[in-house]
Amino acid sequence: EAGEDDATCEGMIRDEFVRVSGARPADFDEGMKSRVKSLGRAIKDGSPVVLVKFKRLLVGAFASSAACESALEALFATKALNVAMRNSTNVSRSIARKCRVVDQRPEYGCRVEVDLPDSEMEALAEATASGMLGESLSRRLRAAGVA
């Protein structure tokens, strides 16, 4: 808003980020704040914004619990990586996303890095989705002392 100080504007940005993304307020850290401010500045100044297409498979799932469990973030990413690796040798790693709450349900997600042509990506996505259906992390949570 015009005429507001930096702290007020950053608070408004954080609140909007949390509202639209379902993320936790703590997820709006200095790195995220810097990226959001940079993008906003570029849009305001009319600078070109470049979108880059990465070779990544986005994997997400809703949990039946009532709140996010940070221990599940890494476990979910590991599980998605293992399922994807069963379907392709061109899978290199997975990167956990922070859990976010969508419609009062925790959503876990990760990005799986894949070196495949676009023509093969959909088949891997479908195979990974099928492999993740019905998967449970309950045993791993008990071993980690979470459940």
Residue 99 lies in a domain: yes
Q: Where is pLDDT greater, at 23 or 89?
A: 89
Distances (CA, A) of 59 to 4, 74, 79, 84, 126: 39, 13, 10, 10, 11
Task: Name residues whose C-beta falls within 8 Å of residue 25's C-beta, 6 or more positions apart in sequence.
Answer: 14, 18
Residue 1 lies in a domain: no
Do 126 and 63 fall into the same domain? yes
Tell me how many domains the chain contains: 2
Residues in the chain: 147
| pTM attached to this predicted model | 0.66
Residue 50 lies in a domain: no
Q: Which residue range forms the structural domain that includes residue 101?
A: 56-143
| Percent of the chain whose predicted confidence (pLDDT) is above 90 | 38
Domain harbouring 67, CATH code: 3.30.70
Do 67 and 112 fall into the same domain? yes
In the predicted model, is pLDDT for residue 112 greater than 90? yes
Residue 135 lies in a domain: yes
Q: Where is pLDDT greater, at 114 or 19?
A: 114
Residue 116 lies in a domain: yes
